[in-house]
Amino acid sequence: MSTTGHYTRYINKFPGWSDNCDTMHRSIRSPLAGSMGYYQVEHFIGNNHAWCTYDSFDYSGNKAPGSRFTMLVYSYNGNKAIQQVLNYIEKFPVETLIEMILKYRFNNRSYMDYFQYFLDVMK
């Protein structure tokens, strides 16, 4: 919990979120994959710009390129930015997030990115 508690009012309105001093975060669960990472919400002073990122966590020791990454999901500029981002993410379907992840991981990688990983696995 934050020492300043500046996210407390948002956590009370949006159950499932936690305060990590400078950010808010919430685990994401998929019906197919179970726990698949977390959302993280940050903002600039004045609450006029806030954004939400997705952060995967792969603690399995997988060294494949892109197995751990961060991706912007939504950004908002305007009044009450934190509230706008949280409202948007509350209604954001997990299926859409999965589509975004697949596009991000495949569009930003070449087959050569995986070559060293392939060699390591084949040993």
Q: How confident is the model at residue 61 (pLDDT cuts 50, 70, 90)?
A: low
| Domain edges within the chain | 8-122
- What is the layout of strands, in order, in the sheet containing 49-55? 18-19, 24-30, 34-43, 49-55, 70-77
Q: Which residue has the higher pLDDT, 68 or 54?
A: 54
Under a CB-based contact definition with an 8 Å cutoff, are residues 17 and 10 in contact?
Answer: yes
- Whether 88 and 72 have beta carbons less than 8 Å apart is answered as no
Q: What is the pLDDT of residues 94-106, one digit of tens each?
A: 889 888 887 777 6
Average pLDDT rounded to a whole number, residues 1-6:
50
